Structure 1
Amino acid sequence: MQSIHAKLKLTNLFNRQVVEMSALVDTGATFMCVTEEIALQLGFDITEVGRQMVTLADGHQIKVPKIAPIEIAFENRTYVTEAVVLGNEPLLGVIPLEAMDLIIDPRQQALIVNPQHPNYPVALAK
């Protein structure tokens, strides 16, 4: 399967600055990951934010800046969360995917709204 990218809109909920971008849909990532450039465009000073310990794909652990609160928007779905500042490409991880009830459609090779719940997200509670 080829890489799947999704067009997202991120909003800094403190200052309402918005960035529209394409993010790699990464089911191996936990959080939303943004580049330092995107964090700065959203108005965050990454020297003044909290930090999060993350494990990279190669097993190394590093502490990275964490920005919040941000709103992620995709089609008719939004989710308020935090993001880690890491790497050279934005990644959409599994927590926001699950929270917004989004799925990867292998036929279309695209991220889509769950067709079983087209009007609003449904999350598992058990």
Structure 2
Amino acid sequence: MGVVYAPIKLSNLLRDDLQPVEVDALVDSGAINLCIPEIVQRELGLTVKRTRVAQMADGSLLEVGIVEPVTVQFENRITTTTAMVLGNEVLLGAIAMQDMDVMIDPRNERLILPPDRPNFALAKVK
């Protein structure tokens, strides 16, 4: 499987006066969290609520800011989550993907809605 990007909209749940930001997000099912660069944080008017130590792919540790609440939309799916502020592109991790009930199509290298439920998201509660 190659690199997968997906068009998503990000918005600040608490700031209706700000326009959503549309980005092509790197889709990474091996990453847990949503990550946004500082420029997106500023555009959305998100404030760092706390910090957290994150382990990078190379094993290094980095203290990053955590912002909330970020609303993520892909096609007809939507979720609200926290985001780590780091990097130079938006990274869509597993928590937001699972909550929106979306999946990676590895053959076509894209994010898709499950074929058996394209009109609604299924939440697994146990």
After TM superposition, the score normalised by the length of structure 1 is: 0.91
Equivalent positions of 1:60-71 (< 5 A) are 60-71=60-71
* Residue of structure 1 in register with 2:88 after alignment: 88
Deviation at 1:125, TM superposition (A): 2.2
The two structures, once aligned, show a CA RMSD in angstroms of 1.3
Structure 2 residue ranges without an equivalent (≥5): none
Matched, 1:119 2:119: yes
Percent same amino acid among aligned pairs? 41
CA deviations 1:17-76 (Å, max 9, x no partner) are 211111000112111100001000111244xx3112211111122221111011100000
- Inter-partner Cα distance in structure 1 for 2:107 and 2:60: 34
Deviation at 1:106, TM superposition (A): 2.0
* Residue of structure 2 in register with 1:30 after alignment: 32
Structure 1: which 4+ aligned runs deviate by more than 2 Å?
Answer: 123-126
- Inter-partner Cα distance in structure 1 for 2:28 and 2:90: 10
- Inter-partner Cα distance in structure 2 for 1:76 and 1:92: 16
* Residue of structure 2 in register with 1:57 after alignment: 57
Q: Which residue identity does 2:96 align to in structure 1?
A: P
Gap change, CA 1:45 and 1:124, over 3 Å in 2: closer
Count of residues in Structure 1 that have an aligned counterpart in Structure 2? 124
After TM superposition, the score normalised by the length of structure 2 is: 0.91
Aligned to 2:6, the other structure's residue is in SS state strand
Q: Which residue identity does 2:61 align to in structure 1?
A: Q
- Inter-partner Cα distance in structure 1 for 2:52 and 2:22: 24
Moved more, 74-83 or 111-120: 111-120
Does structure 1 conserve the Cα–Cα contact (< 8 Å) formed by 2:104 and 2:111? yes
Moved more, 53-62 or 17-26: 53-62
Q: Which residue identity does 2:76 align to in structure 1?
A: N
Structure 1 residue ranges without an equivalent (≥5): none
- Inter-partner Cα distance in structure 2 for 1:44 and 1:97: 21
CA deviations 1:64-118 (Å, max 9, x no partner) are 1111011100000000111110111110000011111111112322100111221
Q: Which residue identity does 2:63 align to in structure 1?
A: K
One of 39, 42, 65 as aligned partner of 2:41: 39
